């Protein structure tokens, strides 16, 4: 087994991955054809059609895909195939991000969608031995009233839902209007996450910490620009959900070699690795780990620690977390022993 084969064999956990950004091109083509569009297109042409040039264009592409999701039943297939792809990277635990308001605004029913997602995740758990939970993205471009409405729905049936988030354009939609929704979510027993410092500066992260009281930051690349912020993240044990390839694709970071994940890791932050929107960014968790090994010199032992960081940060009850950690340690040790001391 060479080093990159060993990287693929390491057990992994993914905390930041969007269900819509994981839809396979073949599946997207299928639902487009069902809607009467794309009947003469190939999967390759689908990939080309939804290619983007920067973060703003990515948001527009994402909105376009939303328009093709016209039936709640699609979400069972989306969830199952997403988990099948995660399992192919040897992921053992995934927190699945779902943005219901985007689809409710297209006249879909929240409860039908969330039930479909649960069915897909349950089938995948039985088929691939992979655990999962759900994160609800309140999305920045919705208003605080819409966020409260989503929490009304969540409160009626919280099965499998562990956290909330806000994704989208930081420049246009700062976190302050969501402070009341985050307080309410915390009172409901949900964990708190926010996309921040991806397409905006360190102040966006400060605001997420101070106004939303978050436990984890999605992306957070601009934290490296502010030494006081780095110290605050470390002091509070706030987790960074790094998405390296995503940040390159959207232009948030010029190259993998310049990604701050190495600085985060060396500074002692609790940083994890994630694929974000794997279909749109043409990546998966295996690729993310391999890129870090090739371009930032992460050793197998360090990549193992990144996986253990994800277990530590997972929104699991302590008993399940300890079981998962023990599994990761056991399986990682087998991989490290198979590679030998000179291969890394």
d(CA 191, CA 182): 9
Contact 44, 23 (CB under 8 A): no
d(CA 12, CA 94): 9
Tell me which DSSP letter residue 238 carries: P
198 in active site: yes
* Residue 89: closest CA among 1, 2, 13: 13
Kindly give, in sequence order, each residue whose CB lies less than 8 Å from that of residue 158, ignoring residues fewer than 6 positions away: 188, 189, 190
The tokens for 323 are: 């079981």
β 271-273/239-242 pair status: parallel
Contact 303, 9 (CB under 8 A): no
- Which of these is catalytic: 198, 215, 241, 288? 198
Contact 193, 201 (CB under 8 A): no
Pinpoint the alpha helices (H) of the chain: 3-9, 25-34, 43-49, 55-68, 74-88, 100-104, 110-128, 144-156, 179-187, 202-212, 227-236, 244-249, 261-267, 278-281, 285-296, 300-313, 318-339
The tokens for 329 are: 């340690």
* Residue 273: closest CA among 249, 237, 248, 309: 309
d(CA 42, CA 26): 8
On the CB side of 49, how many CA atoms lie within 13 Å of its CA? Answer: 15
Active site residues: 198
């Amino acid at each position: 087994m060479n080093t990159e084969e060993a990287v693929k064999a390491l057990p992994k956990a993914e905390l930041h991955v969007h269900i819509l950004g994981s839809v396979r091109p073949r599946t997207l083509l299928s639902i487009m054809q069902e809607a009467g569009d794309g009947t003469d297109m190939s999967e390759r042409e689908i990939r080309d059609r939804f290619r983007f040039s920067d973060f703003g264009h990515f948001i527009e592409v994402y909105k376009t895909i939303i328009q093709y999701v016209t039936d709640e039943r699609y979400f069972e297939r989306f969830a199952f195939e997403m988990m099948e792809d995660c399992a192919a990277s040897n992921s053992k635990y995934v927190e699945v991000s779902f943005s219901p308001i985007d689809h409710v605004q297209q006249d879909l029913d929240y409860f039908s969608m969330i039930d479909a997602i649960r069915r897909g995740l349950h089938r995948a758990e039985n088929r691939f031995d992979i655990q999962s939970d759900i994160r609800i993205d309140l999305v920045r471009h919705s208003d605080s009233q819409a966020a409260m409405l989503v929490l009304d729905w969540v409160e009626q049936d919280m099965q499998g839902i562990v956290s909330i988030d806000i994704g989208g354009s930081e420049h246009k939609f700062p976190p302050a209007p969501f402070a009341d929704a985050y307080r309410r979510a915390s009172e409901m027993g949900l964990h708190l996450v926010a996309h921040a410092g991806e397409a905006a500066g360190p102040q966006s992260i400060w605001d997420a910490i101070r106004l939303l009281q978050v436990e984890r930051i999605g992306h957070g690349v601009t934290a490296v620009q502010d030494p006081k912020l780095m110290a605050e993240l470390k002091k509070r044990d706030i987790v960074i959900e790094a998405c390296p390839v995503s940040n390159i694709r959207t232009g948030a970071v010029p190259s993998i070699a310049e990604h701050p994940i190495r600085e985060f890791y060396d500074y002692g932050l609790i940083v994890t690795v994630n694929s974000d929107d794997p279909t749109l960014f043409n990546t998966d968790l295996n690729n993310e780990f391999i890129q870090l090994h090739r371009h930032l010199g992460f050793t197998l032992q360090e990549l193992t620690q990144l996986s253990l960081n994800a277990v530590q940060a997972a929104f699991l009850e302590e008993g399940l977390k300890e079981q998962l950690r023990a599994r990761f340690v056991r399986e990682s040790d087998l991989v490290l022993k198979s590679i030998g001391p000179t291969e890394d």
